[in-house]
Amino acid sequence: MSGIPAQSYRGLAPAKLNLFLHINGQITEGKFQGYHELQTYFQLIEYGDWLQIDASQTPQITVQWQAGDESILQQPPIIQDDLIYRAAIALQQIAIEQGKSPLGANILLQKNTPIGGGMGGGSSAAATTLLALNRLWALDLSQPQLLELAVRLGADVPVFINQTGAWAEGVGERITPMTRPPNTEWFVVVVPQSVLLTRHGFAHPQLCRDTPKQDAPYTLSHWQTQAGNAFEPIACQESTAINDCFHALRAQAGFARLTGSGACLFAPVESEAEGQRIAANILNEIKAAKRVIVAKAFVTPACATA
């Protein structure tokens, strides 16, 4: 040890909602050849996993999960499979390429974001790790450089680097920050007693894969009426729990939509009080609901450093 005190970061890895998600076809060339092409809007919310990251002078990376609102039973049994670990290792490689001695970190994740819910918990935690360690390790990577690293980790990771609502195309990596639509300050999110695997959804024979590409400003301004989620009919068909939660939320809020490839469902609400009222009603009436989240649209990073 050099005697230099370890630096620390504590911050929220915000979850996301896809206000809509359309699949336009398959990409025919380039590095994403064969992948599905999509259009979506990522809305970040002030709810998610919390990360405590303590930098160290030795190169070891440790990742520990701690139960919060969500169980940690789905933590990867092999650390090399953890997206947080892979993000840290990717940055260590950059340090080596810069001619620096790689530093390490002890990372603690408090798990809140639903697993298998389509809210981007793993992607957000990986992006937050990149942002935090870039500063703690004094790598000084630019935003474009971090985005390049992020897309190697996963298609949803780049949007969390920007930490703002964004229109996305391609496989989700082509991001254009855009102001969120009106009347989207508060959301109620229902977590069903069910999970969905993304690969299963993309492989489903009934998945709509040919939605025509749409204009961003128009689609955003009419996202509740002129847009949808390609996975939603499949999710409701495949899971009784998701279907029950979908209809309960629509009855209570006048709207319901799947986020990502599922399984969570959301609706915009006028206020926190309305969201809490809807949450209480659903939890009292619907056994298929595991829990309900009421959260505000994410505006500024909620973090503390020492």
* Residue ranges covered by each domain of the chain: 8-178, 186-296
Active-site residue identified among 16, 49, 111, 290: 16
Please give the model's pTM, rounded to 2 decimal places.
0.92
Active-site residue identified among 49, 82, 111, 156: 156
Q: What is the pLDDT of residue 40?
A: 97
Does the structure show a pLDDT above 70 at 83? yes
Percent of the chain with pLDDT over 90: 83
Quick one: fold of 8-178? Ribosomal Protein S5; domain 2 (3.30.230)
Q: What is the pLDDT of residue 145?
A: 96
In this structure, CATH architecture of domain 186-296 = 2-Layer Sandwich (3.30)
Residue 291: exposure state from Cβ atoms within 10 A (0-12, 13-18, ≥19): middle
Q: What is the mean pLDDT of the chain?
A: 92
Q: How many angstroms separate the CA atoms of 70 and 115, rounded?
A: 8
Q: What is the pLDDT of residue 197?
A: 66
Poorest-pLDDT segment among 113-122, 201-210, 222-231 = 201-210
Q: Between helices 272-285 and 240-253, what is the axis angle to 10°?
A: 140
Among candidates 191, 140, 159, which has minimal Cα distance to 13?
A: 159
Does the structure show a pLDDT above 90 at 54? yes
Query: Taking a C-beta distance cutoff of 8 angstroms, is the pair 154, 114 a contact?
Result: no
The question of whether 287 is a catalytic residue gets the answer no
